[in-house]
Chain A
Amino acid sequence: MRRLIFLLPLLLFVGVGVAFFLGFERDPRDIPSALIDKPVPDFALPALAGHKEGLSSPMLKGDVTLVNVFASWCIPCKAEHPVITRLSKELGVTVRGINYKDKTEDAVDWLRRNGDPYASVGADLDGRVSIDWGVYGVPETYLVDRQGRIRFKQVGPLTPQVVEEQLLPMIKHLRAAS
């Protein structure tokens, strides 16, 4: 019994060590969304110049939609833009955009130069609507189902790997469900 007590520090250390080792795979800055499986927040954003429609909560019902938060001043947004474009143009996914805290001319220019894959873009000039979505940086991307519920959030740029392994299967599954 006495010997067991002396073993305790070693056992505790082994536990801590294992936690440290597993910690390498976790990103401490990655925060899961608080809105998963919850309905999208109530909002209405005006259209970005040059677009017919903005973005509002009723528009996100009825179809499986990808909502992409982007800005012209955001460099990773440019990096992920081809992935978004591919999703929209080749894979037929409905993609809508929230333009986060951007100058209108800059955003319009950026879309012109890099391509516009969005069915509609809402301009969130002061970022308040994005706060309602739980946005804390750009880019962020949300997958919304037919009932208007948020089912998936990607923090940071979308990569082809995430698209293949997580997004596309989920889109397929959500589309099949009524």
Chain B
Amino acid sequence: MIPELGHYALVLALFVALVQSGVPLVGAATGNAAWMGVARPAAIAQMLLVLVAYGALTWAHVVSDFSVTNVVANSHSLKPMLYKVSGVWGNHEGSMMLWIVMLTAFGAAVAVFGRNLPPSLKARVIAVQGMIGVGFLLFILATSNPFIRVFPAPLDGNDLNPLLQDPGLAFHPPFLYAGYVGFSIAFSFAVAALIEGRVDPAWARWVRPWTLAAWSTLTAGIALGSWWAYYELGWGGWWYWDPVENASFMPWLAGTALLHSAIVVEKRDALKTWTILLAIITFSLSLMGTFLVRSGILTSVHAFAVDPARGVFILVLLAIATGGSLLLYSVRAPSLKAGGLFAPISREGSLVLNNLLLSTATATVFIGTLYPLFLDVLKLGKVSVGAPFFNATFVPVAIPMVIAMVVGPFLAWKRGDLPGALTRLWSAAVATVVCVAIAAYITNGGGPLLALVGIALAAWAFFGSLAEFAERIRLFRVPVKDSWNRAAHLPRSAWGMTIAHACLGISIAGMTATSAWQSEVIQAMKPGETAIVGSYSVSFDSIGEVQGQNFRAEQGVFTVTRNGAHIATLTPQRRSYPVTRMTTTEAAIHTTWLSDVYVALGDPTQNGTAWTVRLYHHPMVPWIWLGALGMMMGGLVSLSDRRFRVGAPERRRAASKPAMQPAE
């Protein structure tokens, strides 16, 4: 009964979406206020209907209703409740439901919170959202219906892939999808602006909060995925340049560029056509990611079950959405009026440089990911493009980008003073040199040159961001109380920028350190033996069997000591899930927040008397995800800036001193 309700709700949502796509659009073109007014209730209704459908599907999973095919294929009565709930999005059909939940939620949010938007723009934005909704609802109902029943209902299900039964993976998709799908708003705004034929600073200010929200959640989503891979896959890798990882990274790169170029539109009314293009491209990359993961044309460890029929449908969606918007762009963009002028060395100039480098990075990842396909289609042979390629081409672009990221905020709008800016960064430069020296000293020579470059970059990003903040509050140049006052009155977006940029430095430090200075020991150990990894001593105490809710595991007990002092007792497991007949490794990690000691239990060897044990020391690896978390917080802090909630740009009040740099 309830799955049927969910099914009906989904179909109703489709009809609402159809109305939402057409009526407000016609209303905006004809100036009919009533028709434009349909947008708000339609968007809210669509979201509610989709939530009902999603709720129905979740209910079916939670009560283990095995008459629903989706539940049979992906669940089991013994599966822990957390995974019954999160398993809803752990398969193709359910994840598409999550997609549409996010899409309609964002659409409804614009309807409810976009009170200050001009009616015609609002109507058009919501209409475009509706069109995307129509596409995906059709896709779900036609090819990926989660409510299909099976008769007779089997006694139990096939269980969820054990790799997905993990807290990290429980939270990774919602954040990821909120990010991916959140960029649809920027897309809708861009298309609406093209239809209107007008892009002004107000548009940029309206777009920014949605883009920030999407960017922040995508950052968290990618970081969660990386962290999960690190502790689950058994050897401490955190990024593989796998096509599906790249599919999430490309929208992130483009979204970062969008975030920054929108600032120029808002402050200086320039770079309009470029920003519109970026908004279209960012969401198109999200769509392309959805396509790549589900179509089977690329090999990936992440790929969902392959079904060419679904692939064709998404390709058609992609063609209509991206092709249509780019066509509109080619027709309308030339007539958008150009905006303010600026010198190459200026705040705008540095943001242009940021965009140039980020776009190149996006294009690089794009080329590398799709090259095997392009070559194969042209029948020019088969090549593999793996991590070595991306490391060689991405890093050279990232280095100048991070350097410029620190200098840019010091430059004034319209015409900046580069020597002056660099002079004010002397403290950051000194700190960078000190950090590199410390790193080289600790590691006795520092290892590869690129590792020290990485540390330099991280320090530059971190201390440079702090230097800029100190400059803004005139630290050490006015009494501390005044600096404190300035800091308290700085707009939140300034805080957000400083936090995000500084935390990027923290992440870079983590990435560099763990890549360059990791220690690894792989050996067969018998209970009672001890191994040394890094400066830690790990002794294998015992091994036994434990029983979990839906698995059996071999569990080893290891004691970690350092210079004789007890650090931790670790219990890595090798789990067997009887229903899916799969085994997973659950590594045991002790984190000091400065580094990780990582122990993974392998196969028994030497006729069962010994076990292959992998021991790792990962220096500064937690900083990767702490930095990413910080970047997300920075984004959210910026998002909470009051100016965004008010909506329209406010005239600057007399409180702001003219001598101060324009706040972000």
Contact = CB atoms under 8 A, between A and B. Distances in A.
The answer to whether A and B touch directly, with their CB atoms under 8 angstroms apart, is yes
B322 interface: yes
A3 B377 CA distance: 30
B382 interface: yes
B81 interface: no
Interface residues of B, number: 33
Interface in B329-386: 329-330, 333-334, 370, 372-374, 376-377, 381-382
B298 interface: yes
Nearest to A3: B334
Contacts of B374: 19
A27 B451 CA distance: 39
A18 to B, nearest CB: 8
Contacts of B333: 6
B277 A9 contact: yes
Interface stretch (B230-238, B312-320, B494-502, B618-626): B312-320
A28 interface: yes
B318 A23 contact: no
A32 B370 CA distance: 19
B381 A28 contact: no
B427 interface: no
Contacts of B277: 9
Contacts of B318: 17, 20
B330 A6 contact: yes
Contacts of A6: 273, 329-330, 333-334
Interface residues of A, number: 21
Contact of A23 (B273, B326, B330, B377): B377
B89 interface: no
Interface string B290-319: 010001111100000000100110010011
Contacts of B312: 24
Interface string A31-70: 1100000000000000000000000000000000000000
A83 interface: no
A6 B194 CA distance: 13
Given A6-B334, A24-B312, A32-B381, A19 B326 contact: no
A10 B298 contact: no
Contact of B299 (A7, A9, A21, A29): A29
A10 B326 contact: yes
A24 B311 CA distance: 8
Interface of B: 273, 277, 280-281, 284, 291, 295-299, 308, 311-312, 315, 318-319, 322-323, 326-327, 329-330, 333-334, 370, 372-374, 376-377, 381-382
Interface of A: 2-3, 6-7, 9-10, 13-14, 16-17, 19-24, 26, 28-29, 31-32
20 contacts: A2-B334, A3-B334, A6-B329, A9-B330, A10-B329, A10-B330, A16-B370, A17-B319, A19-B370, A19-B374, A19-B377, A20-B297, A20-B315, A23-B373, A26-B297, A28-B297, A28-B298, A31-B382, A32-B381, A32-B382
